[in-house]
Each structure stands twice: as structure tokens, then as C-alpha cells.
Amino acid sequence: MSMKTLAETNEHAQDAGTTKTTMRAAVVTSPDQPLLIADVPIPVPGRHQALVRVITSGVCHTDLHAARGDWPVAPKADLIPGHEGYGVVVAIGEGVTTLTIGEHVGNAWLWSACGLCEYCVTGWETLCPEQQNGGYSVDGSFGEYMLVDEKFAARIPAGADPVEVAPILCAGVTVYKGLKMTGVKPGQWVVISGIGGLGHIAVQYARAMGMRVAAVDIDDTKLELARHHGAEVTVNAMKGDPGEAIQAATGGAHGVLVTAVHPRAFGQALAVTRRGATIVFNGLPPGDFPANIFDIVLRAITIRGSIVGTRQDLAEALEFYARGQIHPTVHVEPIENINDIFTRMEQGKIDGRIVMRYSDD
Ligand SMILES: [Zn+2]
Ligand SMILES: [Zn+2]
């Protein structure tokens, strides 16, 4: 990247910070090495892209998978992870008509999609085979600046708290869409299995959507948090049988959202359902789960996966947040802690969501 190009790009930028040409970022150099905190060039927005000065970024479990190279399709080389980035537009690329400098936006896992394939044109852009993923196939928000695509950048509602809003961009939209996919109606029961980074936000969305909530976890403090957010029934799966307890308390759940990171929770989900229920998987542990075919067929149970959400889902998820319905549990840490954050994440020691803050505005 030439300095001239960047200077030209930033000609109209109102942010003094953009006159510099390098930024602090956390870079994946190799799957078996810690992330490198380094000064790297500030990216230059291409056609229909904007340069965003990142204010905060949440740390998602997917970032850990990206850094460790856990998935079949490898991320880009020298990846900067992060897809819960919130910031302010400081420069725009050629052809941009819908974003302006000074606007608050976010990046997302669904960084862009083709807009033309059978999935994109039928409301399933999250399944687009040509999609780009923030902090995976393109650089993300683990740095002081990031790029967004004008058609896919999340528009952040006015008055959003910079720290609280970050987890909405992945965790929030993921559970919100997952809950929609359960088909549970207001007044009906949903079981949230796993009250971690995703699950504690799921309880809040479920309540905001009018659902009655039963929560399952193996940690009493997490179940206490679920009750605080409005769960009427809580079950510690280490101390009791979730199937028996939830059948007794609710008559069987109309839907289940599994956010847990242990495969055991996926098999247990069947036992808590009533006839005709839908079970949605959000969690992504490696492995398989047992499922009784007879039980699924005779009770007409639907089991389905759900991955993040469309732009419309994200806009709706942000709307719930903007109306004060959703308050993720967040802890602020500096980017220098990223390797330690990943270690704690692997050990299951993170309560709620870690959000890295790059500047005070
Ligand atoms: Zn994520
Ligand atoms: Zn497509």
C-alpha cells in the first residue's frame, strides 16, 4: 500500500487518527503460534467499502477456531480475526453511496455475499457459497481499523453503548435468529441449553420475544444469571435430569435452543421437548450426538442448525438492543490480552463476553 493512496483515500476524513498509516492489530501468523500484536498497514477501502476506526470488538469462540485453524477451510493468511467490531466510518472507497464519514457501523461474520445465488435471492444469504466472513476470509476487528462492505455493514442505532453493543453483532444475532427458527410463539416454552456467552443473551431475547424460558446449565452461578434475566425454570444438569425436571415444570418445551459447547447437551435436548417441537443448534462442539429415530419420528420433532443471521435479522437484533431489552454481560480488556483471553476461553473460564476496547469514544 502506498502512503499516497491512503492519503488520497483519507482526504475527506474528519478523524486525525487516519493520517497515520499503520495500526496495532492481533495477527494470526500460524495455527500453532500465539497471535502476534504488531503494527500493520491500515487497509485501504476498495470499491463499495469503507474504512472504520474500530472502537470496540467482542471476542467470539469462532475467533479462537480461526486462530487455531480448527475448521476444514483455512482462514486467509496473516489473518486479523474479529467479527463483533463496532466503530466509526473514517474514509469511504469508490462508489460508496449509503455510508458517510462519522457514521457508526459494525462488521459481522456475514461480511458480504454474492447477492445473486439461489440462497441470496431467497432470504438465505447466510448460506451463500460465495460469502466472505469477517475475521476469517477477510480481516476483521482485532485491530484499530477494519474494512466493511457498505451493503453488509451493520448500522448501529444511536445511543448504543460501545461495549455492550459489540456482542450483539455475532452472539446477539446468532441467538435471535436461532430463537426465531424454533418457531416458539409468545407464551410458549423455550429451553435455552447452555448459559454462556450465547446463552445468557438468548434468555434475554427469548423474554423480549414473549417466550417463557427454562434454562439448563451445569453451573449454578450461570443459572442464577439466567433467573436474573427472566428464566422461570432452571435445571443444573449435573444435579438432576433436565428431561424429567422440564417435563414436570412445563409439560415439555415447544422449542429448544442449544448453545452449549458439550455434545452431551445436544442429545439431552430431545428429552425436554413436547410433541411437534423444534430443536435448534447454535453451539459448535466437534463430534456427534445420539438421537433416537423412533422418538423423532413418532413425536414429529424437528432438529435443525442455525448460523448467524441475515442483515435483516441483525437489524432486528440491534433494534431489540436499542430498546433496552438486551444487556450482555461484558468485561473490557486490552488487545494485548488476546492470547490470554483465548486460553481462558479454551478452559471455559470466561463469564459472558470479553470486549476489547481500542479507544475511549
Ligand atoms: Zn461469532
Ligand atoms: Zn449468494
Domain at 101, CATH number: 3.90.180.10
The residue among 49, 87, 326, 45 whose CA lies nearest residue 205 is: 326
DSSP state of 336: G
Residue 149, pLDDT > 80, answer yes
Among the candidates 290, 305, 320, a domain finishes at 305
- CA gap 91, 14 in Å, rounded: 9
How confident is the model over 319-335, as pLDDT tens digits? 999 999 999 999 999 99
Clarify whether residues 347 and 261 are in a common domain.
no
Q: 61 CA to middle of ligand 1, Å?
A: 6
Pair 156, 12 in one domain:
yes
> Higher pLDDT residue, 279 or 8?
279
> In this structure, are residues 189 and 207 in contact, taking their beta carbons and an 8 Å threshold?
no
Range of the domain at 227: 172-305
Domain boundary among 285, 305, 325: 305
41 and 78 belong to one structural domain: yes
Reply yes or no on whether the pLDDT at 270 is more than 60.
yes
Q: Are 280 and 188 in a shared domain? A: yes
What is the pTM (predicted TM-score) of this model? 0.93
Does residue 315 come out as left (phi exceeding 0), alpha (psi in the -120 to 50 range) or beta? alpha
pLDDT bracket for residue 361 (50, 70, 90): confident
CA–centroid distance, residue 299 to ligand 1 (Å): 33
- 57 with 142, same domain? yes
In angstroms, what is the span from residue 298 Cα to ligand 2's centroid? 36
Domain count, the chain: 2
For residue 2, pLDDT over 60 is answered with no
Helix (H, G, I), strand (E, B) or coil at 357: strand
DSSP at 328: -
Give residue 216 CA to ligand 1 midpoint distance, Å. Answer: 22
Which ligand is nearest the CA of 172, by number? 1
Distance from the alpha carbon of residue 112 to the mean position of ligand 2, in angstroms: 9
User: 167 phi and psi, to 5 degrees?
Assistant: -65, -20
Q: State the distance from the centre of ligand 2 to the C-alpha of 118, rounded, in angstroms.
A: 7
Answer yes or no: do 301 and 314 share one domain.
no
DSSP3 helix / strand / coil % (the chain, rounded to 5): 30, 25, 45
Same domain? 51 vs 67: yes
105 alpha carbon – ligand 1 mean position (Å): 17
Query: Ligand 2 centre from 286 Cα, in Å?
Result: 27
3-state secondary structure 56-115: EEECCHHHHHHHHCCCCCCCCCCECCCCCEEEEEEEECCCCCCCCCCCEEECCCEEECCC
**Measured on CA atoms in the order 176, 71, 340, 84, is the torsion positive or negative?**
negative
For range 180-194, the mean pLDDT: 98
Q: Which ligand is nearest to the CA of 173?
A: 1
Ligand 2 centroid – CA 132 distance (Å) = 10
**In angstroms, what is the span from residue 63 Cα to ligand 2's centroid?**
23
Asked if the model's pLDDT at residue 10 lies above 60, the reply is no
3-state secondary structure 147-170: EEECCCCEECCCCCCCCCCHHHHC
**Closest to 248 measured CA to CA, from 223, 225, 214:** 214
Mean pLDDT in residue range 268-284: 95
Q: Which percentage of the chain shows pLDDT scores above 70?
A: 95
- Provide the 10 A C-beta neighbour count for residue 121: 12
170 C-alpha to ligand 1 centroid (Å) = 5
Residue 2 burial (C-beta neighbours within 10 Å; 0-12, 13-18, 19+): exposed
Query: Which ligand has an atom closest to residue 118 CA?
Result: 2
Q: Where are the alpha helices (DSSP H) in 289-337?
A: 293-298, 311-322
Grid cell locating 321: 438492543
Checking if the pLDDT of 13 tops 80, the result is no
Pair 31, 123 in one domain: yes
pLDDT bucket at 265, cuts 50 / 70 / 90 = confident
| Residue indicated by cell numbers 482462514 | 75
Cβ-count burial 280-291 (b if 16+ within 10 Å, e if not)? bbbbebeeebee
Together in a domain, 209 and 301: yes
How many whole angstroms separate alpha carbon 160 and alpha carbon 198?
20
* CATH number of 264's domain: 3.40.50.720
- The candidate with the shortest Cα–Cα distance to 358, out of 86, 68, 80, 38, is 86
Which residue, 289, 305, 321, sits at the end of a domain?
Answer: 305
> 123 CA distance to ligand 2 centroid (A)?
10
Asked whether residue 162 falls in the same domain as residue 297, the answer is: no
Ligand 1 centroid to residue 308 C-alpha, Å: 8
Shared domain check, 330 and 294: no
| pLDDT of 14 strictly over 60 | no
- Quote the ligand 2 centre to 62 CA distance (angstroms): 22
Counting ligands in written order, which one lies closest to the CA of residue 131?
2
Q: Which ligand is nearest to the CA of 282?
A: 1
CA of 22 to the centre of ligand 1 (A): 26
Q: Are residues 301 and 315 in the same domain?
A: no
Ligand 2 centroid to residue 121 C-alpha, Å: 7
* Ligand 1 centroid – CA 194 distance (Å): 16
Q: Using the structure block, give the residue that is written with the C-alpha cell 436499542.
A: 322
Give the Cα separation of 63 and 353 in Å (integer).
13
